[in-house]
Structure 1
């Protein structure tokens, strides 16, 4: 993956980027960061990029997002001052391949791409599709995690000790390894529960906390969606929970059970506990649907018919804001079902499935050559040599406090390195080719009426949709022949779209499935066929 190479470097025309570097092994030196930055700067110079800032996390794992510089980078991305995040290799951005897709999506919303100086991985349509396959395999391969690590975590859980994971707001790790109350945050938790029990809106609670300079556990601002995890977390009434281990009284309580149950009941009876988000108000094509007439994004909005019924639809943003486009609105449910059915018809072809399988296998072969894993194994080999030298000295009669202390240090270091190797190997899950084909084939039996299924299809396969009043073009997440399809359509008029029940026209229904792309859809509202518009 990379950017388009430029001619002679002209800094005034260079695109801005930032560098993110990270290392986690205790045996790695600062030179590791410096080498990453040097390689990234060389890549930037070669590809016409201008480095405006460097973010670096030292001694921090990439398995989660508890990285101060990483979080600061995500926060700064919202300002839109740069176009690329440049990393040394894939595992520097996120060692967990499944989390990587989440972080890249957050950056993509701000128009920012992640590129790598020392690794070639697709960041175009193919990259999106490969990441979808990897995400889909996660649940099937969780059993590959190290048994030693899982056994140790379960032992900690049975003793009600802190395991890996996010620390609940209001708690810290005590000297005995168990949860302890962190009073400055605990008082905030009590305040949140008290205010919610009295009916204070979430947005007012968030404004109050932000106004006093009180931040979330990750150092961010509070929002109306910040309270769900807190208000439903039994930890605050003293219940320790990890995996299948649940121990009442296993950790100190911050609030009493009566208040917790009162808040829980209020949230159940409150129709809209998280603010203005309405049921069925999700728009799956957001960021992917564009007006064919002017190229502007089509955004999701809601409207009310004459009968008072609420309808959801997409509208050309240029028409809404500037009144400068004639593109008609389109009903959300209709266009999303149309796109999903077209994706299923055109993606699930034997040659496409085989291409995806080949691409994922090639990606895994590259990812398996982990530089981090190789470095850890070298560290363990050096540790073993040093241990052998100390043992030879002891066997020769050199038994001193220094040799004994050095031997204990080496043994402790070897244990830490083995744990790190175990974690790294667990993160490099291998997906069999048969599973990749199975993952693709399972879409054939999906229910287009299921919102969850439609979202999965759109996120996995659809790259962009361009909509005119008489035809549609859908670009998919793979390249080559057939990577886009054009279809003629006949849409209902805007008057029909929002007339609602009781009028002379019908509300648009779901376009029926079709096996022949040249066949009519059998609907009074829409007819489409494949056409060559290349």
Structure 2
């Protein structure tokens, strides 16, 4: 029997503890129907899917290395993540450990069309998250404009009274004392030791340390400034430190290298896992090298050749050039109205075809029909003059049972997966088609939805899409990067464009995409 763990979460926005219990119930019912054994639960309460700061989620990812479960079961995909990049990243980690994500409410097959459907559903969740974020930002802006406290952690030096920041006189004196001593040359360690020796605690009730004091000196709220979404507010927090003193202390901290450092994320190889060598069938993997000038160059390299240089003659390919070439071609393909229509139809048909009526709902509906039939029988008898006390009591009982069944059926239907409409899916596809894909993260979400795999030769690239099961799009890799030929599956096989060792899966492409000659 397959084993699964359940991941559930609810955000603090208009959701409650009951949200968790409902998610767990639906997941357990799904597991029972699919003959899956639940071996654990991971629950994050009052945390959103747009952040990585979900302790039990991260623990689940780490625990997947132990190979103790085969699936992660979620109520809906937006419980896993509302960001396509994070979703792809964590699913890749789970896949590496032999674990796949399942949705209890969304019917997704484990094939190319399933990948496409999953991509669309996650994009819809991301759209909802972005829309909700805008509403929340508007609410925050209104509250800050009125000078209200908008939530979060307390700040040493202040209390919150009636949703407004007020100065805590004792703590404010401590804050000013810290700034003055630091300005006069006292070391941070000495300041920290003095605060702790005097028994003064942070707002969280813990001892002061290097981080808490450094954050205090860096915090602009102490001079009455609050920054939010590009705006600066001066009417929210009362200033308790002189601005000149604040600036001087921060300049000193910069010199003493206490400034918080930003971690620069490593540039992702967004074709990883989808790029294969056209000559030996091996995966193309990330490679980096440093030139004589010290500049770091990033490449994709045949893994077979990396292990044994004589095993394959495939040349390295510059990461940026290849990713830009594949991305530009994909955008040209996906942005066509005809292709958007095709994708919408595929997603709707495949998704809705998998929706099945739960046995419990069918039983309730059959029971309701039986009650209605009995009621109609009694009505016929009453119309013929057969009216007794027993008849009336029986009718009242049947009416009550019918009402109860109708309530249960309404509840079951509310739990059922709603069918997707073509108009809804097409609208979301158009929304994401109009997005600006300037970052690697944005490009990665596009790739994960639509590209099945890419086969790389020295003179051409084959892009296999999830949208069309018939043929790939072939582009040359010359200096002009033009698409010079369109191959059908037959042509591809005759020209050895798909070497032995590749598993044949759904391909893609559209006749007429930047081709030099029409294809019959």
| CA RMSD between the two structures | 5.6
The Cα offsets for residues 17-76 of structure 1, whole Å up to 9 and x where unpaired, read as 3112346755839864662453244145x2xx5543222346x36565565533433454
| DSSP-derived class of the 1:72 partner | helix
The answer to whether the 8 Å contact 1:62/1:91 transfers is no
Q: Which residue among 83, 89, 96 is the counterpart of 1:105?
A: 89
Cα distance in 1 for partners of 2:70, 2:285 equals 23
SS in structure 2 at match of 1:465 = strand
Q: When the two structures are superposed, what TM-score results if normalisation uses the length of structure 2?
A: 0.52
- Do the aligned partners of residues 72 and 175 (structure 1) sit closer, same or farther apart at CA in structure 2, a change above 3 Å counting? farther
Query: Unpaired segments of 5 or more residues in structure 2?
Result: 183-203, 205-214, 354-419, 488-493, 499-503, 505-520
* Aligned counterpart, 1:42: 32
Q: Give the 3-state SS of the residue equivalent to 1:21 in structure 2.
A: strand
CA distance in 2, matches of 1:328, 1:77: 36
Q: Does 1:320 align with 2:310?
A: no
8 Å CA contact 1:171–1:181 kept in 2: the answer is: yes
CA shift for structure 1 position 115: 0.8
How much does 1:295 deviate? 5.2
CA distance in 2, matches of 1:352, 1:133: 17
Matches within 5 A, 1:373-412: none
Q: Which of 466, 472, 475 matches 2:464?
A: 475
Unpaired segments ≥5 residues, structure 1? 1-8, 195-216, 218-228, 367-427, 491-507, 519-528
Q: Separation in 2 of the partners of 1:34 and 1:282?
A: 35
| Displacement after TM superposition at 1:86 (Å) | 0.5
What is the CA distance between 1:265 and its match in structure 2? 9.2
Range moving further from structure 2, 460-469 or 134-143: 134-143
Deviation track 1:450-487 (CA, whole Å, cap 9, x = no partner) reads: 979866754553332233456543222x34334x6263
CA contact (8 A) 1:239 1:251 kept: yes
- Residue 106 of structure 2 aligns to a residue whose secondary structure is coil
The answer to whether 1:157 aligns with 2:144 is: yes
Number of aligned residue pairs: give it: 371
1:462 and 2:426 are equivalent in the alignment? no
Provide TM-score, normalisation by structure 1: 0.51
- The C-alpha deviation readout for 1:190-228, integer Å capped at 9, x for no partner, is 9xxx9xxxxxxxxxxxxxxxxxxxxxx9xxxxxxxxxxx
| Whole-angstrom distance in 2 between the partners of 1:34 and 1:131 | 21
Secondary structure of 1:300's match?
strand
Q: Deviations over 1:89-148 (max 9, x none)?
A: 446546xxx447634532323424321223314674313541575378569956984xxx
What pairs up with 1:7-22 in 2 under 5 angstroms? 9=1, 14=2, 16-22=3-9
Aligned CA distance change for structure 1 residues 139 and 69 (closer, same or farther; 3 Å): closer
Find 2:39's aligned residue among 52, 63, 83: 52
Q: From the CA coordinates, give the structure whose radius of gyration is larger.
A: 2
How far apart, in 2, do the equivalents of 1:313 and 1:176 lie?
A: 58
Q: Which residue of 2 aligns with 1:501?
A: none
2:247 alignment counterpart: 257
Q: Determine helix, strand or coil for the equivalent of 1:56.
A: strand
Contact 1:293/1:325 (8 A) holds in 2: no
Alignment match, 2:71: 84
Whether the 8 Å CA contact 2:225–2:237 is kept in 1: the answer is yes
Question: Secondary structure at 1:473's aligned position in 2?
Answer: strand
Q: Is the 8 A contact 2:217 2:250 kept in 1?
A: yes
Aligned to 1:336: 323
SS in 1 for 2:39: strand
Q: Residue 320 of structure 1: SS of its match in structure 2?
A: helix
Whether 2:103 is the aligned partner of 1:116: answer yes
Task: Check the 8 A contact 1:156/1:163 in 2, yes or no.
Answer: yes
